[in-house]
């Protein structure tokens, strides 16, 4: 969002668009989206989605919750529901016994859980053999790094979430020069938003050049 020079620049609240129609689908995440759309016809009582920070796992969980009415909990507190239930940061599980019993209840009741994690199950450090066995039996989907088309779309969405209009020339300039990750896109859009507000100008190729140079120096 551009402001005139001399005008007080106030950062506006950022409201991310998290509906199904707002999710950007590409080769890196198409399989995860297909699994969400396939519910409730899952072959197991749960699904594990993992990938790097900012790759869209939370967005996928919100889409699934809108379909199922699932309760959202953290991995540290798996809860006692029979499902549906969404568990974020599942690799942070502390009460392995509670999670083991939750999976058993879900299986008995025909319920489902959607797990999100930053790393695959083998890296969670699960010590309870029965829980490790239950988790290893669940289908697993990895969300991969974005390709150019998805990265450009992601930048557009992140700018839109911040009510910033950018031209296609800016997006085409940024994509081949930026860090190629979801989290890198988020940080870059934040830096550009802050720089535009401070300078009282729109996000442009010259401003993007300046900010990318500063990012490389840090």
User: What per-residue confidence (pLDDT) applies to 198?
Assistant: 94
Average pLDDT score over residue span 120-146: 94
Tell me the pTM. 0.76
Q: Please answer whether residues 199 and 208 qualify as being in contact, where contact means their C-beta atoms are separated by less than 8 angstroms.
A: no
Tens digits of residue pLDDT in 44-98: 999 999 998 878 898 899 999 999 999 998 765 665 566 699 999 999 988 999 8
Q: How far apart are CA 143 and CA 146, in angstroms?
A: 9
123 and 140 Cβ atoms separated by less than 8 Å: no
- Domain residue ranges in the chain: 21-142, 146-217
Q: How many Cα atoms within 13 Å fall on the side-chain side of residue 116? A: 25
Please give the CATH number for the structural domain made up of 146-217. 1.10.8.60
Residues in Cβ contact with 20 at an 8 Å cutoff, skipping those fewer than 6 apart: 63, 66
CATH number of 21-142: 3.40.50.300
Task: Please write the tens of the pLDDT for every residue from 151-170.
Answer: 999 899 899 989 999 999 99
User: In whole angstroms, what is the distance from residue 10 CA to residue 15 CA?
Assistant: 15
Query: What's the pLDDT tens digit per position in 170-215?
Result: 999 999 999 888 888 999 999 999 999 999 999 999 999 999 988 8
The model's pLDDT over 5-31, given as tens digits with 9 standing for 90+, comes to 333 333 434 444 445 556 788 888 999
Q: Could you give the angle at which helices 182-199 and 148-161 cross, rounded to 10 degrees?
A: 40
């Amino acid at each position: 969002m551009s402001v005139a020079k001399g005008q007080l620049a106030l950062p506006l609240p950022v409201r991310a668009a998290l509906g199904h129609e707002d999710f950007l689908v590409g080769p890196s995440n198409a399989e995860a989206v297909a699994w969400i759309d396939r519910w409730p016809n899952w072959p197991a009582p749960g699904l594990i989605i993992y990938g790097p920070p900012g790759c869209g796992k939370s967005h996928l969980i919100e889409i699934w919750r809108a379909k199922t009415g699932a309760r959202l909990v953290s991995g540290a507190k798996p809860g006692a529901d029979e499902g549906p239930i969404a568990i974020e940061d599942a690799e942070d599980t502390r009460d392995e016994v509670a999670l083991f019993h939750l999976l058993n209840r879900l299986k008995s009741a025909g319920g489902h859980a959607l797990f999100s994690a930053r790393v695959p199950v083998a890296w969670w450090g699960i010590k309870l053999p029965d829980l490790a066995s239950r988790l290893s039996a669940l289908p697993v989907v990895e969300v991969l790094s974005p390709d150019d088309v998805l990265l450009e779309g992601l930048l557009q969405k992140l700018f839109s979430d911040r009510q910033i209009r950018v031209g296609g020339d800016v997006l085409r300039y940024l994509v081949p020069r930026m860090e190629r990750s979801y989290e890198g896109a988020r940080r870059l859009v934040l830096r550009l938003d802050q720089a535009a507000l401070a300078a009282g100008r729109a996000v442009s190729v010259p401003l993007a050049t300046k900010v990318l140079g500063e990012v490389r120096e840090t």
